[in-house]
Structure 1
């Protein structure tokens, strides 16, 4: 028996998210069906992150166990030849049998992309959140510093998550701006349900002047979701990398 680890890239636009759903086609379902057909085994895949509907990924990690002797370096091409073009296996490797894509995780990196101008985009509408308000980028950068470190992030999670412990550590949170385009990059040891999107939405509310940048520390300490900002739209979010 072998344990195969895959690194995936996908465009989440046409899917109901990573996890199998009854109300739409998921990335998990699509990939698993291809793997079962290819390996001719009853295989169950495990993903590292349950990305929501519309969320994209550059570094989703998946594992599955197989008896197949297909050489590891040939697995990505064999799977990709059967997948739709918006899901791609970029790398495959054989790992220890006790490796688990969730429980072996040491951290993750996400990015979030914003286009900040009056007119909505035509070409990148599925990959950027359009924000039509004037934003104070300097205040957003100052607000970002308050998130760094280990905190109880109860103010920055949506209801519905399965985890009971809300303490997480943010290693870095950086904002860059290139013309109308803003990118938020965040790394941490783990993230609560919708945590990244709520942090981004809060930064946008800071930029709009609705939340003072120096109140972020108090919002974190309050553990009150009502004091944080809006939840940013899903389609601007990218799972960039999972650390092991």
Structure 2
């Protein structure tokens, strides 16, 4: 029996999130069906975490146990033949038997994208929200800085959260702006990418942070209000939950040597 780790990218627009649920049509459902078609095994995969409906992933990680003799280097290409075109497995490697994608994850990075140009980008509209009004990006940076550290993030958690503790650590948070598509002489501000790296995130946490941060950018809140909002530990103190389509699971990091150092990752 082998324990295989895989990395998958997906456009979550048309799916009911990553995790299997009664309504079906999830990323997990399609991955498990592809594995069944390929190896004949009915199994459950374990992911680094769930993503909600409409949320995308550049680097979701999952693992599963298999008795299949299929060579490691064939898994990615073979699985992709059975997957929809908006789900692509990009890496595969064998990991220790006790490896668990969620419990072993040390750092996760999410990216949230805002198109702050006057007009929407029809080619990237599935991966960004459009905000044509002026945003104070520097104020957003200042507000974001108040969230770095170890805190109780109850304010930025869904009211439906069932986690026993809302204490998490955000290691880093920053904003990058791409102005390459801005039209000279216009009010275009570019594409605003906000990155948050932490040891874990609560349900809707990044989206609530972004909904509140947008209000800072609009001048409806002061950057220092983010500290007060955080300390309130009350969901009502924060802004709205930003739309899911702007959110992407960017990267999941592990510190297990067999993952960090072994050059056997197969990329297709």
Distance 1:91 1:178 in 2: 28
SS of residue matched to 1:44: coil
CA contact (8 A) 1:158 1:193 kept: yes
Gaps of 5+ in 2: 180-189, 255-268
Q: How far did residue 21 of structure 1 move?
A: 2.6
CA contact (8 A) 2:37 2:82 kept: no
Cα deviation, 1:64-112, whole Å, max 9, x if unaligned, reads 1011111111111111111111111100001111101111111201111
Partner residue, 2:112:
112
CA RMSD of aligned residues (A): 1.1
Distance 1:205 1:117 in 2: 17
Partner residue, 2:99:
99
Q: How far did residue 63 of structure 1 move?
A: 0.8
SS of residue matched to 2:83: coil
Distance 1:243 1:109 in 2: 8
Partner residue, 1:223:
233
Q: How far did residue 177 of structure 1 move?
A: 1.4
My pick for the range that moved more, 19-28 or 169-178, is 19-28
Distance 1:107 1:176 in 2: 20
SS of residue matched to 1:105: coil
- TM-score with structure 2 length normalisation? 0.88
SS of residue matched to 1:230: coil
Partner residue, 2:259:
none
SS of residue matched to 2:227: helix
Distance 1:206 1:17 in 2: 29
Partner residue, 2:206:
196
Partner residue, 1:205:
215
SS of residue matched to 1:132: coil
SS of residue matched to 1:161: coil
CA contact (8 A) 2:159 2:235 kept: no
Gaps of 5+ in 1: none
Partner residue, 1:75:
75
Q: How far did residue 24 of structure 1 move?
A: 4.4
- TM-score with structure 1 length normalisation? 0.97
Alignment of structure 1 residues 97-176 onto 2, 5 Å: 97-176=97-176
Partner residue, 2:53:
53
Cα deviation, 1:191-218, whole Å, max 9, x if unaligned, reads 1111111111111010011111111111
Distance 1:228 1:171 in 2: 21
Q: How far did residue 4 of structure 1 move?
A: 0.6
Q: How many residues align?
A: 244
